[in-house]
Structure 1
Amino acid sequence: MKKRLLSLLLASSMVVSLAACGKSGEGNGQGTATGSAPADAATELVDGKFADTRTITVEVYDRGNDGGSDPTNNMYTKYIHDQMLEQHNVDVQFVKVPRWTEVDEINNLLAAQTAPDVCVTYSYATIQTYADMGGVLDLSSYVEDYKDVLPNLWDWLGESNIYWDKDPESGSIWALEARLANQNRICTFIRKDWLDTLGLEEPTTKDEFYNVLCQFRDNADKLLGADADKMVPYSVSYDVGWRAATLIESFMDPAITEKEYYVNGFDDRKLTENGTKDAIKLLNKWYNEGLMWDDFAVYGSGDTTEDDMMKAGYVGAFTHNWDYPYRNGEDSIEANLKRLVGEDASYVAIDPFEDSNGTHTKWIAGPIDRKIFFPVTNDEPLASLLYLDFISDPETIQYLQIGDENVTHTVADNGAIQIQAATGDAIQNSGMNIDYTITCNGLHLVDPEITELSLAYSYAGVDPNLILRADEIAKTDTRELGNVQVGAIESEAGFGEALSSKRDQVYDKALSASEADFDSVWDAGMQDYLASGGQTIMDERKTAWENAYGDAENLPEK
């Protein structure tokens, strides 16, 4: 609640500040917050370079990795800095923002008018809030007027991602959507060595998964010896809506219409979708039977307790991002597990949550990822767009993802890129360096065939077959969300953070309630969530859909 109040106060102060000072882009020859880019602005460039050095600041996530490299000063930032100076005469300076509190930090920076020139966030609601107050540049005319000098940006993102958030009435574009090179989302992982020790088959249904968890719990002494009291059969963490996504989706109607999904889908945690309550009720049963981590709700975003338990070998199964146990090279969950437990210890991907059709429907967003935007204080929009163009160059993406041969990767006889553990300032703090390739998430090398060949080898020290298996499962029975273009949902602005917090509380409290209290705890939490803005958003979304698409239940085919 204190964070929410602080954000509102800061936002209020920004309204006063903007009203007093006017738009920061005015009078600088680079355009204004309305997105009016001078038609001849690109003539400032000679062979793609400014005559006078321009300076821009760019946000980069600080993940606080133990033993990681400095996110603002390492091999990759030096490469970007030197190449941008050489190619465009633009001096790039990085500003670190804590990854796990990035929404709070971006709120604070925007309100104080000190945000970097190039900002990135997963929260479009945050962007919309400040756009409504005149604090974000409308990029619509910039990306079009400068199109001729942004070939890489247009080639990589395409009209789909550049226009993804375009308002159908005003034409404004407050953010560009980064592109997912790989749309995989979530997998469930299980200790294969534990299954082998107990003579169990890999579970393929919810019932089989439940039975395996019971066997883990009941054989804690055999599996963990003196550490039996640390046994966690199944873990999903405080962020239940994300971490239990495939279980939740298995309770939803596989034939759900795009209208129903959109109206009930303010965020990607599916709290208000039909079927979600039944999924959480099942988790509540498992929790009360001692099959889940007792203290899951205590450890919030950025805390490493859960990862540490996995690395130490105490967790039997968990659901997470499709490649989660294999990330981070020598500090990955898989690598630590083998060092601490033994070479046979390993997590493998499974697909145990069947839906009513007996399939495993997994909802995936369109090919969009993080949202990139420029605050109104950005007085170098052309230089900033040239930065995005450089970052979208296939050669740049490739270098940032794989680095230097024999330093961060080797090349196999068949041409596959094999990532190897790096040291010092060559360490990548994020998988495939996505914190720098902000327009691209997922392996994307210059040669598509080498990209496909290299995917399984892009995790240092990990058996490629584990990656291939997780990739296959993550792609099984996927259903891609369409782009619902109905304009801004005004009731969403300013409520993203507050409703996300309430959503997590609903999930966490209901999951950990006694079985007898589950219904009352869930219903009370939902009533509060809906009364706090959730129902208003859903109602406005329904009206917006019907205004745009009439009585259609699904988006028109393109």
Structure 2
Amino acid sequence: MKELKKGLWLMAVGSAIMIGAAGCSGSESDSGKQSSSAPTEVSSSTAVFPLKEKASFEIFSAAHDTKPQSGNEPIFAEIEKRTNVQLKLINIPNASYADKFKVTLASGNLPDVMDSDVASAKRYGMDGAFLALDELLKKFGPNILNSIKDEGVDASLRASDGKIYGIPYFTMPGVTATVPQYRQDWLDQVNLKAPTTPDEFYKVLKAFKDAQLGGKDTIPFAPQGFNNFPVFRSFGTDPRMYLNSDGEYQYGPALPGMKEALTFLNNLYNEKLIDPEFAIISKQQWEAKVSKGHVGAIYFNPARTDFFTDVLKKENPKAKMVGGGAIKNKNGKGELLPDYSLKGVMAISSKSKNAELIVKYYNFLYSPEGKLLTQYGIEGTSYTMKDRKPQYTDEFKKNIQNSLTNIGLGTTKYFFTAPMENLFKDRNEGTLMADAVETSRRDWTKQEPQLSFTQAEQELVSKNLQPIQDKTSEYMIKFIIGQEPLSNFDKFVGELKQRGLDELVKTYNAAYQRALKAAQ
């Protein structure tokens, strides 16, 4: 077995605490129609749950550092009651999971199911460790397949051989999105609204600076890195390789619109409207600047609205950070970076004797009844039905994170099925993050696939991508701060091409088209 590359397994347990809410294979009202105690049809070719005879299978997974799920929580018991299937949890401390994952794979003695990132599942699936699930999903997993389609993650799950090697699990929307955020109290003081165009963005930042709302050290906009600006899409470009609206991969820094975007950013820099240390500042230093009240706007995860507001209010009770929508051009073109709902997969060992059972089990979890259980919990305990829709009880919502953990949904990834429509709102109602997500979600781009490359393609990507990214970073920073004249933009693009940019773009598009074809 090939050795797992360092860093490939990137667990982010904090962002996996909740289940996603964007995109849904069935409506909430449909979920509410099914009785919470009625047997559920797994598929037309299988028996109904609960099974007549008790069954079980193993799940090998990283456990939350401080609040791991034991399998004894109420939700586990309820699902076992409805399926007659017992989960045998193999909880591995999060800090040592990457090493334990490698060692277990190398041993060849695999448990039934392994919690895996998508890339590892595809890689080791093609090596023979994990089972290709396509036929089993067609026979026993219609709910799973429908959710894969509805969530738009089919291309992400396909390995370069066109097969699927894991049952997906998801995370809460907004967790990975990037949205513009502004000091609302500053906007109020300069009598302006959150900007929606590049010109308005400039106007707001200049007003912040002129009024010195953060004192003599006022920083109107504080990005972290050359690519952390919300304006690129309004100029028809992006600071990375991305999937455009026509379904084609492009390298944004080499597009004509990037020269216009860099001209705009260079002007912001010259007028001292952005942090002069944006290219070298660490996350900790960036956070400290915002927390001290010197910064008027950022571009970051929407959860930062609540975080920074709470910090700033200690010194300034009126302080408030709010989310904004995309910056768009005069034609209404402009988007925000995609929100990735696909978190990982449950990969089934190629040696497991329980593969059919496992697919049937997860197909139940992906049913309306299963989704209601895994996202809202147990009726009468954590939620009640109102107008055919689930609503958390007031008692459950008092401390919802602890409530979710106690019932068995807080930190486990075993049940992160495709999200229901109003889950995010129901779990985060009343927070600034919820407002930021609601304001920005209409501008999110579609979720981009996690592409798989053949061996030859991977060799080309490994050879060309990093040198191209390094040269891009070097030039972009120099263009913004004025060390390199924008008249040299064509020279910059030429140097990218010399490093194999055209071949790299072709490789991305070939991998994408192959994944789309396999999904048909």
What TM-score bracket applies, with the shorter chain setting the length? Answer: 0.5 to 0.7
Give the counterpart of 1:207 among 199, 211, 221: 199
Which is bigger in relative contact order (C-alpha 8 A, separation at least 6)?
2
Q: CA deviation at 1:436?
A: 5.6
Query: Does the 8 Å CA contact 1:400/1:436 hold for their aligned counterparts?
Result: no
Using structure 1 for the length normalisation, give the TM-score. 0.62
Superposition map of 1:143-182 within 5 A: 143-145=137-139, 147=140, 150=141, 152-154=143-145, 156-157=147-148, 163-164=154-155, 172-176=163-167
Distance in 1 between the 2:382 and 2:465 partners? 38
Alignment of 1:139-288 (within 5 A): 139-145=133-139, 147=140, 150=141, 152-154=143-145, 156-157=147-148, 163-164=154-155, 172-176=163-167, 185-220=177-212, 223-225=213-215, 228-229=216-217, 231-238=218-225, 241=227, 243-244=228-229, 246-252=230-236, 262-264=248-250, 270-271=252-253, 275-287=257-269
Where does residue 317 of structure 1 map in the other structure? 297
| Residue matched to 2:309 | 334
Render the CA deviation track for 1:421-479: whole Å, top value 9, x for unaligned. 45758569xx98795653335xx2xxx6xx3xx7545326526xx74564244314x66
Note the alpha carbon deviations across 1:231-260, whole angstroms, 9 max, x for none.
Answer: 43223324x55x43x522111179x99697
- Separation in structure 2 between the aligned mates of residue 156 and residue 263 of structure 1, nearest angstrom: 25
Aligned letter for 2:308? I
8 Å Cα contact 1:297/1:508 also seen in 2: no
1:213-238, Cα deviation, whole Å (9 max, x unpaired): 23333444xx335xx54x43223324
> Does residue 78 of structure 1 match 2:55?
no
Task: Provide closer, same or farther for how the CA distance between residues 409 and 200 of structure 1 changes in structure 2, counting only shifts above 3 A.
Answer: farther
Distance, in Å, in 2 between the alignment partners of 1:534 and 1:103 is 33
Distance in 2, Cα, partners of 1:378 & 1:521: 57
Of residues 427, 432, 439, the one that matches 1:458 is 427
Q: Deviations over 1:286-308 (max 9, x none)?
A: 345443344545567xx555455
CA spacing shift, 1:426–1:174, aligned 2, 3 Å: closer
Q: 1:77 to 1:545 in 2, by over 3 A?
A: same
**CA distance, structure 1, for counterparts of residue 445 and residue 8 of structure 2:** 39
In the alignment, residue 374 of structure 1 is paired with which amino acid? A
Alpha-carbon shift at residue 191 of structure 1 (Å): 0.7
Q: Which residue of 1 aligns with 2:35?
A: none
2:505 corresponds to 1:538:
yes
- Structure 2 counterpart of 1:350, from 305, 317, 324: 324
Q: 1:33 maps to which residue?
A: none
Q: Is 1:56 matched up with 2:56?
A: no
Distance 1:520 1:110 in 2: 53
Alpha-carbon distance change, 158 to 235 in structure 1, aligned in 2, over 3 angstroms:
same
SS at match of 1:174: coil
Structure-2 separation of matches of 1:496 and 1:112: 30
Contact 1:421 1:460 in 2 (8 A): no
Q: Which residue of 1 aligns with 2:13?
A: none
Q: Structure 1 residue 194: deviation in Å?
A: 0.8
Structure 2 residues not aligned, in runs of 5+ = 10-44
Identity of aligned residues (%): 17
Deviation, 1:319, is 1.9
Other structure's SS at 2:483 match: helix
SS class of match (1:458): helix
Distance in 2, matches of 1:291 and 1:390, equals 54
Unmatched 5+ residue regions in structure 1?
Answer: 12-41, 63-68, 550-554
SS at match of 1:440: coil
Alpha-carbon distance, 1:357 to partner: 1.6
